[in-house]
Amino acid sequence: MSALVVAVVGPTATGKSDLAVELALALGGEVLNADALQLYRGMDVGTAKMTPDERRGVPHHLLDVLDPLEEASVADYQALARAAIDDCTARGARVVAAGGSGLYVRALLDHMEFPGTDPDVRARLEARVEAEGSRALHDELARLDPDAAAAIGPRNARRVVRALEVIELTGRRYSASLPQHVYEVPAVQIGLDCDRAVLDERVAARTRHMFDRGLVAEVEGLLAHGLGRTAARAVGYAETAAMLRGELTPDEAREAITAGTRRLARKQMGWFGRDPRVHWLDAQDPDLVGKALALVAEADAGRLGLATDDPAPRRSLGS
């Protein structure tokens, strides 16, 4: 039987990448990226992508595999990620996946259907977004598929369009194609959490660090070659581009990035918090690596149940 995949998940700025490297070093493993934006070449500072030195010699998979003009696809990611797992397994390397893109983590680990697309239907729906606004289409989605609407925010026009496209093409609710909490790739998920005030300060510090590391120059270089819709709308990149166009002052851009990253963290916590299989650890725990390794050992021995069975359930971001 292949070793369980170790997946380090949770909100941004909790230290998932650092923990993944520590676990890979301890387990003889390699890291598999599960962050949608870190798939893109050249999007390094704004995604907090680890530098080669920070990776400490641990091989990393699915970093820098897309041009920023390309659109990331969950279906493509699933195929590439599972091929990477097969490659690691064949070489006897433990896979440690890390990332905060919930849909990508689920596509990696769970059974997930990918209904087809129709460019004409999508173009018509996208035109409606421009004419009517994404909230109007979200209201329509709420009538057709309340579960999907509850999971997709009204500002997420891309996913609203996709949900309505699937409903029109299949005649089924979009939520029926979403993954259930049942592993297709056996895994143990370790979630990192910390209280809200601490996380908010980590996010603010990350924003300052990105500007210090050259976020503005990175965005200038990317804009010179063009950005696709996904890359251009990413937190950090959209606000910096607006600053470069003179629409925001530098201080306003920093504030907008920090606020946007905090909203993203809340969204990620909501996504992963609904999965009863995630075992939560305090990101500030001085024995974080030891406790994470203990969870892996328990899972490997078949003694780790659902997270709801844990004697010490996770702390909430609101605590």
8-state DSSP, 115: -
Each domain of the chain, given as residue ranges in start order, spans 5-112+180-309, 119-177
Q: What is the pLDDT of residue 304?
A: 87
Point out the annotated binding site for substrate: 12-17
**What pLDDT does 128 receive?**
97
Give residue 312's pLDDT band: very low, low, confident or very high (50, 70, 90): very low
pLDDT tens per residue, range 138-152: 999 999 999 999 989
pLDDT at 305: 77
- Looking at 21-25, 206-210, 309-313, which range is the least confident one? 309-313
pLDDT in tens, 243-285: 999 999 999 999 999 999 999 999 999 989 999 999 999 999 9
CA dihedral 173, 177, 183, 184 (to 10 degrees): 150
- Burial profile 165-187: b = 16 or more Cβ within 10 angstroms, e = fewer: bbbeeeeebbbebbbeeebbbeb
Residues of the binding site for ATP = 10-17
User: What digits encode the pLDDT tens for the residues 168-208?
Assistant: 999 999 988 777 788 999 999 999 999 999 999 999 999 99
Buried/exposed code over 195-225 (b: 16+ C-beta within 10 A; e: otherwise): eeebbbebbbebbeebbeeebbebbeebbee
- Domain boundaries 5-112+180-309, CATH class: alpha beta
Topology (CATH level 3) of domain 119-177: Histone, subunit A (1.10.20)
Which residues fall in the annotated binding site? Answer: 10-17
What is the SS3 assignment for 3?
coil
Strand order in the sheet with 94-98: 60-61, 29-33, 94-98, 5-9, 187-193, 278-282
Q: Residue 317's pLDDT is what? A: 46
Q: Residue 212: which residues within 8 A CB-CB, separation 6 or more? A: none
Q: Which residue has the higher pLDDT, 114 or 301?
A: 301
pTM of the complete model? 0.85
